Amino acid sequence: MLNDQPAAGLNLSSHQLARMPAVVAVNTNSEHQFSKTPVAEIMLIEGQGIEGDAHCGETVQHRSRVNVDATQPNLRQVHLIHLELIQALQAQGFRVDPGSMGENITTVEIDLLSLPRGTVLKVGPEAAIKVTGLRNPCLQLDAFQPGLLSAVLDRDSAGNMVRKAGIMAVVMRGGRIRPGDSIEMLLPKPPYKKLERV
């Protein structure tokens, strides 16, 4: 079991962490800023997002989306990034930690990018979120640290863009989430739909 402290400055290898899907850190920010701050716990609100977070709401809250159509449903209520990506970026010399790339939940031991759309993640004893799609990395990453945008983009063998900067979800059932909470995956019925940017 992971300890219950916020994971700011974490630089752990996977063998030091639990070998089951789990929450490493929870992060929030009430302002529309790039990074989020690790905290002891977050409260998820059904159909809204994370209590007190700038991106909480039924309709889009990301400023770029609001400028296009403020009435769109908010498919980006919760942002998740896997610790393994953070560690890979640290190994390349980037100064990143849980929350610094704007995610609300930092996970470990779960291949977020391979989950099909509609997967439900039961997080901790109460909360459940439904995966809606991929985060679309933007130039804010380079403003945070030069070169970070290209480091989270790749191409597969067919030449298709691979976005590695995490996934987005909506809150199906509210509840508190803390570092150390377990994550259970409930896959949708086949055929599975590949994640696309949202």
- pLDDT tens track for 76-113: 999 999 999 999 999 999 999 999 999 999 999 999 99
Q: Give the confidence band of 6 by pLDDT, cuts at 50, 70, 90.
A: very low
Cβ atoms of 42 and 28 closer than 8 Å: yes
The mean pLDDT value of the chain amounts to 90
pLDDT at 181 over 60: yes
Cβ atoms of 11 and 24 closer than 8 Å: no
CATH top class, domain 25-186? mainly beta
| Angstrom distance (rounded) from CA 53 to CA 58 | 13
Q: Give the confidence band of 2 by pLDDT, cuts at 50, 70, 90.
A: very low
77-87 core/surface letters (b: 16 or more CB in 10 A; e: else): bbbbbbbbbbb
Cβ atoms of 111 and 50 closer than 8 Å: no
Cβ atoms of 168 and 102 closer than 8 Å: no
- What is this structure's pTM? 0.88
Q: Where are the alpha helices (DSSP H) in the chain?
A: 63-68, 83-91, 140-144, 148-151
Q: What is the pLDDT of residues 26-64, one digit of tens each?
A: 999 999 999 999 999 999 999 999 999 999 999 988 767
The residue-averaged pLDDT of 126-139 equals 96
Helix, strand or coil for residue 141? helix
Domain map (residue ranges) of the chain: 25-186
| Angstrom distance (rounded) from CA 111 to CA 75 | 20
The residue-averaged pLDDT of 11-24 equals 66
Q: State in Å, rounded, how far the first CA of the chain is from the last one.
A: 33
